[in-house]
Structure 1
Amino acid sequence: MNSNSQPIPGKPVRGSKTGQPIMVIFDLLGRSWSMGIIWHLNNGPSTFRKLQEYCENISPTTLNKRIKELTIADLIERTVDGYTLTKQGLELFKLIHPLGKWAKQWAEDIKNQ
């Protein structure tokens, strides 16, 4: 299995030889800056340059790769205003946003132990 290939349900990914959909999305979101791109685009459309700045000057090659992967996965799309979340991407953000809140509280709890 090539961890650099496009994660596709039904094909092997990290953590699943059979490509279970949940593991496929975790593989995709676990790649550098995938979650950051989705998080940023929840605020509205963004240009390539703005995404690059948001992602702490990610290399253009890596950003292009993530954009391509997220586009193939139907999570983002390019519009006249820049890149934006698709309907699927917005639904995904709505699911992961509460996890982000939980993670902040969890981090505080661990720090205070």
Structure 2
Amino acid sequence: MSARLKSDEAQKKQADRGCFQPCSIETGMRILGGKWTGSILWHLKDGPVRFNDLSRMIGGASKKMITERLRQLEAQGLVDRKVMQTSPVSVEYSLTDFGCSALGFLEKLRQWSETLPDQFSVAD
């Protein structure tokens, strides 16, 4: 059998085993897996939060990163943004119903993370 035929067969076998669409886990990770995404959603769980308060709650993230994630979460329908006509103008963020649906998963993740041995502690 020629090398080309063997290569074609190997590619076909690989294609038969692989998935062409993202699986459910991959889809979920694409939505919630971004750095700071889970933290932002978690800090919005108790109700609307102003941007500056949120940035103080998430100590390790820059305001630029928080802004990027909030825009992404808003575009995905997880977060609502409300501009408040105060002086100076302030912005408040809250979870949508869809965003609230992720809280059960995040709570389970929090519980699981608290059971991890010290060797899994993460350094920034």
Q: TM-score, normalised on structure 2? A: 0.64
Which aligned runs of 4 or more in structure 1 are off by greater than 6 angstroms?
A: none
CA apart distance, 1:102: 2.2
Alpha-carbon distance in 1 for matches of 2:78, 2:24: 14
Q: Pick the structure with greater CA Rg.
A: 2
SS at match of 2:49: coil
Q: Which of residues 61, 66, 71 in structure 1 aligns to 2:69?
A: 66
CA apart distance, 1:91: 1.0
State whether structure 2 residue 95 is matched by structure 1 residue 85: yes
CA apart distance, 1:103: 2.2
Specify whether residues 17 and 37 from structure 1 end up closer, same or farther in structure 2 by C-alpha distance, changes over 3 A only.
farther
State the percentage of identical aligned residues: 25
Query: Per chain length, whose mean CA-contact separation is higher, i.e. which structure has more relative contact order (CA < 8 Å, sep 6+)?
Result: 2
Gap regions ≥5 residues in structure 2: 1-18, 85-90, 119-124
Cα deviations across residues 51-101 of structure 1 (Å, max 9, x unaligned)? Answer: 111111622221111001111111111135710010011111122212311
Q: Which of residues 18, 39, 43 in structure 1 aligns to 2:42?
A: 39
More strand by proportion, 1 or 2?
A: 2
SS at match of 2:39: helix
State whether structure 2 residue 100 is matched by structure 1 residue 100: no
CA apart distance, 1:24: 2.9
**Residues paired across the two proteins, number:** 94
Gap regions ≥5 residues in structure 1: 1-15
Contact 2:38 2:106 in 1 (8 A): no
